[in-house]
Structure 1
């Protein structure tokens, strides 16, 4: 079955979901260098040689000593270090074979940990390199020969589930370091929360997720399954299972069949056994007699809702970030009765943390370079309750996690530079200028700085170069830094200052709990001891009770607990007892980070045009009405793109052979290409159909612009292309012509942020303008315009989409340009030289089944669209307008095939309110699949 699914993926689905790179994202002013060894080529911007050397040294060590549990196949990989972005991420891909590290560390430590980010990326991402190298076996190897690297990627991603890819990589980052996500309490909050709530979801639901309920993602799932397999069946167990899977030993469910053969359990039974083992430990831990009693602050909300980053606002009121499955995130004021008042929505951010003090809210909002996709920034935004307005108080920088002073005149924020230098910066909110940059000789990475009670110093959790964490107090007057806790690999969360006491969360035990540190004696105390992790906390105005945000099966919920200083237990963060399951031993030799040498390696220039074509894959694409297969190529820096291929157009029945090349390293994208099209055709003025072949050379440019900010993702693409075309008519009555024309296009897309359950954005526009016109004596012209307007519906997950479209072409019909018009649904294409259409669509969800069968097909959501189309087409031959109106409904099924492939399919019923001039059909039923089927009656 999995082999069949893999074949379907290769034949019917685009490969875009396998691609992660950013095309043309860096400016040409960025100069690149490389370190080249036997196992890796590390490519990095000039000035980043220290990071490049560290990556190369770690990768060489991993390649030499850590392949026993995955396989011995080797292949050299290119790793590109990106230092212009504020995102914290990394990936490995085939097509082309490469990896990219996003070098900015995550501002939070609870989820990804506190390790040196370059080292953690090297451990995790190079495991993906070894996986790809060793999964090229059997049928997967055949696919790599037939379809290239993306063919291998498609087949291996079907054969080996995504939970294994990421779980195995998390195992290795944990096994080969002193920390890793496998030792972080928060990493298990999701599964632990479901267990403690008695939620026993099916394996298919765990694999495919839900629009209705919280389901952990494939990272913790994969870690738990991988660890269980290693513990019970040995270090090389998964190497043997994945080898069977990628070879498709047994065409039906090869991964599960291999598990069954080696363990007696299929994948569902294997998951059940894994969860039972961990669940017993989690239940026992939560059932201890000395756990801290707490009561929910609010009733359980539906759907899943997260309440995070709580602050006391006085009068039994709290300021909190609310993020629900059916609402976009907003900062709300809550009262004791549970009443909620929206204060402000932060919009696009890299980290959803905010700070509140004396009626003012501050956060770091995301900003983007207009042209270069890898360059992004943040600005400091402040909302003031006194005015109800939000203003930007700092120019674009690279800021995280700001805090505001009691008088609102200053903001302290963590900052980062492209060369990975970290600092705390003091910003004047009136002028927006940086008034002070605190000294940081050790290059600590600051997380969540907070003003002390008198605004004379800053408290921050910091990470040193090894990845150990400590709480630090730093003077704002002279920059002197004082350690409040010793450095250790215990993760420290967000501090909250209350007089002489610092409250914070930390992962000293099996879960993240609330701790307190008294500045007078620097003693640390455990405040809570709960069954699942706390994220953030705040004292109420009387300082006799604590409200904290704790993870549950319904998201982060607020809990209320009394503060009894007499019951505090003094602790040392890194000396608390943790259960054995959170201190795993994988027999991989332990941490390698102190073993890897710091060898100085030769650094050379990396030319921008290195391997500009770099063909890697045959890529099929089925985007009705065009069906194509092309040989694709991109260079490693992703500034060039090449395609050579064949396309069949279902509307006209023509075939096209062609190739194109695009360079994206300058401000505009520059494109050139050639096509030869066979059997193009069109209706003449007399109604006859004429056929011809055509050869075309074209060259042009486009400029993609990113204007996103606030709540809106916004882009504009402008472009123009010159075409030189030669016609070859099949009917001797028509004379062959050489034809030149310009094709000009503008695309504008503006989309308000969407919540998880939203089908469409609640407000947005999609505008396309295209104008083609001839140059020279042979006249031809076509104008096309389309506007989609998105509006909210009657309920939160409903949406109304209004559409208008217009197309006009000349009456001479010397040449027929490509037709992109959106016709009234249900009708055949009429003859016209001018046509317009108005449409209305009302989208709404019907059910969230969360059901599937046989690990083949899983239904996440069933939704419908009620539509009405009105169109008029002008036929100049008879000087008359013909009306086309239809109404109907579309039923969509949002599914996943094989627990892997997102696949939306549906059926459309159209009732024709006007006669179709082509036939007499009154109703049509269309199945909306990659290849459409049509019934009429």
Structure 2
């Protein structure tokens, strides 16, 4: 889950222009029927058919609003929560502009990160904590910002004063303290931090705050939980509300949050982190000292330079393993490991789960696809790979399947199915056609995850979830009977495999994830098999039953380890629940009130239909931009379903003798095409040449525009493809022409059109890749006037992306063409990219070519007083060519330049990714506008938003 306070591109200027991205604008499927529950604390907007889940969400957030505020503050406000069920990507966020939240309701396929808790309960507690954080941040200077410019500046001021690690750490504490489980009680949550402590690595606070392209750095959820649990131990739970309020008020303009920590705890951010790390490292070490470790042997070695993961080792035959591999340099691959050698079998495309399975010769996994037009609807489809024939094929299309696994005879595929109505089933499919053969449901409404076939193929073992607890369950495929193999627990259970009538799985029973086993007969006796210092996951048994393989976590990612099973004489393991274990006591704050889920009311709120194109349209921001040359004012409306947007604005242009303009824009994306309607009226003042004198020409211009566009996007394998055809018609009315207060020519009006398309297909990038390593992009546009002189403009550009010499290198080749005659009586805007270092030349026609070679140089991982953090330095070598033509004069001019760019990929103010480049262009031809110039040095900025 991510907490997204919309960050704006103009954060470097607190009075900058707000241009926020509306994710998935118009992403709902056509014809979706919406309903709404109105409760005191929240309006729950949800698809028809999931009323019980919506009622549960309403009861959870209302209970928290009434009973669990003391550690955050007492400010009130109603939130609109939209429940999304058509997407398979589990997530959630709270945003401003407008103030709303979205829950992506399909649960995660893995139990590791969130443990046993019900997914919608986690979302309700976690995201509603963000709601309370947002409401209680509206104080002091942050409140003044919201008064001046609405929710837009409210979001910016909150983001600048309150670090994301506080927001997420505080929310994880809430989901832990208000339940019997939660991430704070899962050993997986501290996995990365413990791996670093285990090898004596302690990154600085700044590196933890900003991350790294080079090192494995725990994210802000883990950083925040580490620091805030330490803060609460120092001064109690209520101290966080005071720190949050003081930071939001900007009590201490510079570093307001760190200063609030210092005033209330005696530690600033850096020193609090150091103390928290020291205390937790000592606790982790004491636990390790009291743990009898079992030696393991390495199958794959830890990569010392690049974070690399080997996941889900699967035994094929003899000593051959198949595993899933990825790294900071390389996207997912299926690899074969034999005698220390590695062979790439195939690639794995876009996915949201690392799981894959092997039974017989059949490898199975799931990849993502999506509705091309509707971004809120996506799918997980089953892919199969035959190890004998080396053939890969897609078994299902537009489905919602998770954790697929082939039966022992290879004829069937079993998979978890989650419907858009959040119904959970196990489906058994034909392995050739993908046809549904069997549907397995649970009379007790268990939620299943992960699957393993028994060796004779008559039963499946899965992880069942019920009332926020987990247990291993055996399901008879034919009779549909269910036998529990382990007791219900709040611990994490994951990745069952079966060998010799035993079920091996990883679990958090010992506060370190390890491999355990139980028997298929249902005795519910549990034995511990591994004991490693950090974590062991994803067990696999060799074909002879003598060796256990598993994924073991290190500070440089997952490696594959093994240990012998022959000498394993482990005794029965007694499981204690997470809330009973001392290592998790820091997250169990009695002052928060304890678990709320035994106290929840079951109030039935009224349900109404939620219909209407402009339903929920809300004024949320009024932006005042005090520019010295072009001050402006605008107001912004958006609806909560994120498919209608409306804005009004006005501005003055002092560069045009104080002329002013007014505009309005309406964008509607609920229907299959996007419709955009724009109007602008303004006074214009331009310089023109008359009788060899430059004089001012004034006129009024009224523009009326309408655009129809169809934005499409596909996911297939590792490629993301987008296509957007569009047509724009603009009526321009020019009136009241004067030159220095003398009437100059009659009024005129004309209609112009812009017909074009954009297309791209690009391979996804690994984390360290500086650019796409394969892809193609194209833009075409034809702009012309329709009812006056034949003024037209044609623009075309394309780009080809290719791999460089190194895995993180990228080559980009761009070509472009533009034609617009200088003799045209009306000139459209010129946005052509000319060779670097040259001034834009006047021309009728231009053709260009640019070649770029981009490569990383080093990763500084160093900051400067919280102002900027240097994450990566890279170089770009380029060559640009262009030929311009003046057709009437029959002249051609060549422009060539070559040079280099030194680019710093930085994070500013700990939140804003910006790349700052230094460019030196050597001019290989004379610039007609500046003939004496032989090179040009410049600075440029690009944003990573």
TM-score scaled by length of structure 1? 0.94
Give 2:714's match in structure 1, choosing from 707, 718, 743. 707
Aligned residues: 924
How far off is 1:481 after superposition?
1.1
Corresponding residue for residue 382 of structure 2:
380
Give 2:939's match in structure 1, choosing from 919, 927, 936. 927
Q: Superposition pairs for residues 313-328 of structure 1, below 5 Å?
A: 313-328=316-331
Give the distance between the partners of 1:248 and 1:741, measured in 2 at CA: 50
Corresponding residue for residue 5 of structure 2:
none
Contact 1:763 1:789 (8 Å CA) reproduced = yes
How far off is 1:289 after superposition?
5.4
Judged with a 3 Å threshold, the aligned counterparts in structure 2 of structure 1 residues 605 and 192 are, in CA distance, closer, same or farther, namely same
Corresponding residue for residue 150 of structure 2:
148
Contact 1:727 1:737 (8 Å CA) reproduced = yes
Corresponding residue for residue 675 of structure 1:
680
Corresponding residue for residue 172 of structure 2:
170
Judged with a 3 Å threshold, the aligned counterparts in structure 2 of structure 1 residues 877 and 176 are, in CA distance, closer, same or farther, namely same
TM-score scaled by length of structure 2? 0.94
Q: Superposition pairs for residues 415-564 of structure 1, below 5 Å?
A: 415-464=417-466, 466-520=467-521, 521-564=523-566
Give the distance between the partners of 1:795 and 1:863, measured in 2 at CA: 13
- Supply the RMSD in Å over aligned alpha carbons: 2.6
Give the distance between the partners of 2:326 and 2:829, measured in 1 at CA: 44
Contact 1:835 1:872 (8 Å CA) reproduced = yes
Deviates more, 1:48-57 or 1:721-730: 721-730
Corresponding residue for residue 935 of structure 1:
none
Corresponding residue for residue 330 of structure 1:
333
Judged with a 3 Å threshold, the aligned counterparts in structure 2 of structure 1 residues 693 and 916 are, in CA distance, closer, same or farther, namely farther
Give 2:618's match in structure 1, choosing from 599, 614, 619. 614
Corresponding residue for residue 934 of structure 1:
none
Q: What's the secondary structure of 1:581's corresponding residue?
A: helix
Contact 2:192 2:217 (8 Å CA) reproduced = yes
Deviates more, 1:412-421 or 1:584-593: 584-593
Deviates more, 1:747-756 or 1:434-443: 434-443
Give the distance between the partners of 1:123 and 1:427, measured in 2 at CA: 37
Judged with a 3 Å threshold, the aligned counterparts in structure 2 of structure 1 residues 596 and 193 are, in CA distance, closer, same or farther, namely same
Say whether residues 1:308 and 2:299 are aligned partners: no
Contact 1:5 1:898 (8 Å CA) reproduced = no
Give 1:723's match in structure 2, choosing from 730, 733, 736. 730
Give the distance between the partners of 2:164 and 2:664, measured in 1 at CA: 34
Give 2:592's match in structure 1, choosing from 585, 588, 595. 588
Judged with a 3 Å threshold, the aligned counterparts in structure 2 of structure 1 residues 792 and 751 are, in CA distance, closer, same or farther, namely same
Say whether residues 1:744 and 2:749 are aligned partners: no
Judged with a 3 Å threshold, the aligned counterparts in structure 2 of structure 1 residues 561 and 288 are, in CA distance, closer, same or farther, namely farther
How far off is 1:818 after superposition?
2.1
Judged with a 3 Å threshold, the aligned counterparts in structure 2 of structure 1 residues 11 and 373 are, in CA distance, closer, same or farther, namely same
Corresponding residue for residue 705 of structure 2:
698
String of CA shifts for 1:674-712, please: whole Å, max 9, x gaps. 023554869999999896653200112111111221111
Judged with a 3 Å threshold, the aligned counterparts in structure 2 of structure 1 residues 619 and 408 are, in CA distance, closer, same or farther, namely farther
How far off is 1:552 after superposition?
1.2
Q: Superposition pairs for residues 883-898 of structure 1, below 5 Å?
A: 883-898=894-909
Deviates more, 1:118-127 or 1:291-300: 291-300
Say whether residues 1:636 and 2:637 are aligned partners: no
How far off is 1:622 after superposition?
14
Judged with a 3 Å threshold, the aligned counterparts in structure 2 of structure 1 residues 511 and 739 are, in CA distance, closer, same or farther, namely same
Contact 1:15 1:150 (8 Å CA) reproduced = no
Corresponding residue for residue 237 of structure 1:
239
Give the distance between the partners of 2:593 and 2:577, measured in 1 at CA: 23
Contact 1:6 1:155 (8 Å CA) reproduced = no
Corresponding residue for residue 193 of structure 1:
195
Deviates more, 1:412-421 or 1:444-453: 444-453
Give the distance between the partners of 2:289 and 2:759, measured in 1 at CA: 56
Contact 1:285 1:531 (8 Å CA) reproduced = no
Give the distance between the partners of 1:171 and 1:563, measured in 2 at CA: 39
Give the distance between the partners of 2:274 and 2:832, measured in 1 at CA: 52
Give 1:818's match in structure 2, choosing from 829, 832, 852. 829
Give the distance between the partners of 1:205 and 1:628, measured in 2 at CA: 39
Judged with a 3 Å threshold, the aligned counterparts in structure 2 of structure 1 residues 804 and 582 are, in CA distance, closer, same or farther, namely farther
String of CA shifts for 1:852-900, please: whole Å, max 9, x gaps. 1222211000111111111011113422111111111111111111222
Give the distance between the partners of 1:633 and 1:716, measured in 2 at CA: 28
Give the distance between the partners of 1:146 and 1:621, measured in 2 at CA: 11
How far off is 1:613 after superposition?
4.2
Corresponding residue for residue 793 of structure 2:
782
Corresponding residue for residue 361 of structure 1:
363
Contact 1:14 1:621 (8 Å CA) reproduced = no
How far off is 1:650 after superposition?
13
How far off is 1:63 after superposition?
0.7
Give the distance between the partners of 1:100 and 1:454, measured in 2 at CA: 44
Corresponding residue for residue 854 of structure 2:
843
Give the distance between the partners of 1:121 and 1:20, measured in 2 at CA: 21
Give 1:907's match in structure 2, choosing from 896, 915, 918. 918
Give the distance between the partners of 1:28 and 1:542, measured in 2 at CA: 54
String of CA shifts for 1:649-677, please: whole Å, max 9, x gaps. 99999976422001111101111110235
Judged with a 3 Å threshold, the aligned counterparts in structure 2 of structure 1 residues 867 and 37 are, in CA distance, closer, same or farther, namely same
Give the distance between the partners of 2:688 and 2:836, measured in 1 at CA: 21
Judged with a 3 Å threshold, the aligned counterparts in structure 2 of structure 1 residues 630 and 821 are, in CA distance, closer, same or farther, namely farther
Corresponding residue for residue 603 of structure 1:
607
String of CA shifts for 1:890-918, please: whole Å, max 9, x gaps. 11111111222212111111111111111
Q: What's the secondary structure of 1:327's corresponding residue?
A: coil
Corresponding residue for residue 208 of structure 1:
210
Structure 1 unaligned segments of length 5 or more: list them.
Answer: 932-937
Judged with a 3 Å threshold, the aligned counterparts in structure 2 of structure 1 residues 835 and 685 are, in CA distance, closer, same or farther, namely farther
Deviates more, 1:33-42 or 1:803-812: 803-812
String of CA shifts for 1:697-756, please: whole Å, max 9, x gaps. 011211111122111111111111111001245545554320101111201121101000
Say whether residues 1:827 and 2:838 are aligned partners: yes
Give the distance between the partners of 1:681 and 1:761, measured in 2 at CA: 43
Deviates more, 1:731-740 or 1:569-578: 569-578
How far off is 1:806 after superposition?
0.6
Judged with a 3 Å threshold, the aligned counterparts in structure 2 of structure 1 residues 918 and 655 are, in CA distance, closer, same or farther, namely farther
Give the distance between the partners of 1:620 and 1:440, measured in 2 at CA: 57
Give the distance between the partners of 1:314 and 1:842, measured in 2 at CA: 44
Deviates more, 1:800-809 or 1:550-559: 550-559
Corresponding residue for residue 106 of structure 2:
104
Deviates more, 1:811-820 or 1:498-507: 811-820
Give the distance between the partners of 1:294 and 1:629, measured in 2 at CA: 66
Say whether residues 1:391 and 2:398 are aligned partners: no
